[in-house]
Structure 1
């Protein structure tokens, strides 16, 4: 027996798995891009740093040689300092070997960004100090903003890739949920964006769905044919018993034969009703509860006076055949286990329209209020539960029909003695009629 909320739970589970998979792919792609960026930056820093140091060393050597050439000529030396300071927009200080200031351009350079010793033939002539960072505009966003924009673009790209990879899984989950809900015609169409593996999985799913749909159709046709073939000989047997009865046959034997034929006909009716629920063949249309009750009493040979409509509004939408089978099973249950039906009532039950049958029996044992609706549960004449003899599908089928019409089966002991067994339906029509396999 499937839980009535099975497709809903499957959908929730599918959304959870899909969202979790999307997050995992998104995070893994993002981390992969981040790690790759860090590795590239590290390698470039190592390679570029070595090259930068070499270039700086060449510049230091060049500056030292230029100053060594003009060191003995103060005019040319001072002109060189002024020219470099003006052309490169830096503050320079030129000091002798005793660290005495010879010339300065710009502000004092107490913490030089670059110090170049002036050396000629191994003799230290002095030192050049350069301060250039304080003359440069310092805007950290100029370096941070490009990095942030680059990271955002890469992160968005990882999200797009994750969505592209999980979209086929989303389609597969939706298709599986629809198939589980009874929509056997469901197929998966992934489109050109699906990867090879997902395409193979979608093709396998479609093949499976097609086989299930074909098998269910074959079973439906088989049940229809078997029911027709079974009911035809049953009808003939009833005609033959009437002929034998008119011809002077043993009335007791013929009564037994009639009873067995009726039992077989009822069993075939229950199996057909169950198969209609299994295959989702529920046909709702506007009905009147009083007409359904009167017809059920007429078919079972009970007086119409047993019908009592206590509900003010008896209009509903449902499947007349299935509801008629449920009412017949209630009346038959009262006959078998309650020494006959005392009343068929149409009442309000928990805000729904309900049919219930009051019997004249000893009532229900503790715990039987729910057990009697279990498949294969029945009671013998001594009141003991056992699982042999008849199939015991009558009240279980009542529960399935009630759930297919948005209601529920119920049972309780009456204050004056006896039991009340019934089922409820929604007046406005079932919100979701039972699909294949609904319990």
Structure 2
């Protein structure tokens, strides 16, 4: 596989690119919105939690300060008299001593630097206590360095933020999927006109030259539709002119040729009355006229095929019947045909009959004689195998012999004179017009083997 083919395979098609564009666009927008909403919501909720904790701590500080201002009041009793929210613990520093509302809380639980920061202003720091997130709020009680620290839990806030993050992530994923679906729908709408053009072009290439694109009210597509239909109209007129031209050429060439053949036939009947040199000249003229007649027939048939004159109505047919009829018309024995699997195809009977006859004549004229025809089926194709008894075709010439005016002179000789070089080219054109293929191989006996593949008829 070439580098260009590999690169083409790696390149995404138009529809996947449109879907990817919509999906990526929706994903980026939803991601930006999700991040913005989460950041704003998180900042707002954290700020509100800090303010709530600071207000709660301030009210406790006022109670502690007023209570300790009474002589003889014990700091432990004051701390126990406070009623903090659930899971909130207090730590009091008074006269250099530490008092806490729970045994596992002590000065070692304070975040680094919080005690020094409290001396300047009220300060709140997120830290960990009992393996859970808490907000440590410190407020100074007096100028002696005494302070009250309140550890408010942040578990509920973290849970709320987790739920919010999950919801926003799910929304971003759903938005991306929705973008991909919209991209699929949009690409389908965008590619529908292209599919119509491709389908119309395929029908035209298949012989339905009356096919046209339907009119559209879309101003952006109207130009394409009009240009395409105008092109097909021009093509149809050209094909009709060529049909007329080839009909005129056929008539004008066949008439003088028929006159020459008739005149030479009269001379041949009186050949015994001519001198030896005249008889030799007459033989040469007869051979050249026969070659010219065959060349003209092949040229006209090939021209009709390329110009579209082969576009007769397609009809279903059994290949076994077609091959049997061709063998009978060419006066060849029916025993040459071996039907392994019969097949029904849709085709143009005269064109296919001529192509098969050309292959049989090629085997008799250049391949030492036709040895057998096998009909079988392979997947979705009907396969016709034609073998001859000649020396075969060199591998370098097996593709070239289907070109026009190409004849091989090494090994494959014609006992009746040289061929026109158009018979196999006409076979390739006819089989190609039926969406099939033809190739030349070597059969087990050493001769040439021509393999024709034609798609089977689709079931109704």
Of 394, 402, 407, 1:365 maps to 394
1:311 aligns to what? 339
Could you tell which deviates more after superposition, 217-226 or 235-244? 235-244
1:2-401 equivalent positions in 2, closer than 5 A: 18-19=15-16, 22-23=19-20, 25-27=22-24, 29-38=26-35, 41-42=38-39, 64-65=61-62, 67-73=64-70, 85=83, 90-92=88-90, 94-99=92-97, 101=99, 109-110=105-106, 111=109, 113-119=136-142, 123-124=143-144, 126-133=146-153, 141-170=159-188, 179=198, 182-183=202-203, 200=220, 206=225, 209-210=228-229, 213-237=232-256, 240-241=259-260, 244=263, 252=282, 256=288, 259-276=291-308, 283-289=314-320, 291-295=322-326, 298=329, 302-305=330-333, 308-311=336-339, 316-319=344-347, 320-334=349-363, 337-338=366-367, 342-343=369-370, 345-348=372-375, 353-354=383-384, 356=386, 358=388, 363-373=392-402, 375-376=403-404, 378-379=406-407, 392-399=421-428, 401=430
Higher relative CO (Cα under 8 Å, sequence separation at least 6) belongs to 1
Q: Report the TM-score, using the length of structure 2 for normalisation.
A: 0.63
Any conservation in 2 of the 1:293–1:307 contact (CA below 8 Å)?
no
Equivalents in 1 of 2:429, 2:22: separation in Å? 43
SS at match of 2:96: coil
Distance 1:94 1:421, change over 3 A: closer
> 1:156: Cα distance to partner?
1.4
Equivalents in 2 of 1:188, 1:48: separation in Å? 61
Equivalents in 2 of 1:365, 1:56: separation in Å? 96
> 1:106: Cα distance to partner?
6.8
> 1:342: Cα distance to partner?
2.9
Equivalents in 2 of 1:392, 1:117: separation in Å? 110
Equivalents in 2 of 1:231, 1:92: separation in Å? 114
Equivalents in 2 of 1:424, 1:141: separation in Å? 73
Distance 1:393 1:331, change over 3 A: same
> 1:270: Cα distance to partner?
2.0
SS at match of 1:422: strand
Structure 1, residues 113-136: CA drift from partner, whole Å, max 9, x if none? 3332213xxx44843332432xx8
Any conservation in 2 of the 1:406–1:430 contact (CA below 8 Å)?
no
Equivalents in 1 of 2:215, 2:173: separation in Å? 29
SS at match of 1:310: strand
2:274 aligns to what? none
Distance 1:51 1:354, change over 3 A: closer
Any conservation in 1 of the 2:360–2:370 contact (CA below 8 Å)?
no
SS at match of 1:324: helix
Equivalents in 1 of 2:298, 2:159: separation in Å? 85
SS at match of 2:339: coil
Could you tell which deviates more after superposition, 262-271 or 164-173? 164-173
Any conservation in 1 of the 2:355–2:430 contact (CA below 8 Å)?
yes
Equivalents in 2 of 1:19, 1:139: separation in Å? 42
Unaligned runs of 5+ in 1: 1-8, 193-198, 433-439
Unaligned runs of 5+ in 2: 1-5, 111-135, 205-210, 272-281
* Number of residue pairs aligned between Structure 1 and Structure 2: 395
Equivalents in 2 of 1:23, 1:308: separation in Å? 59
2:450 aligns to what? 422
SS at match of 1:85: coil
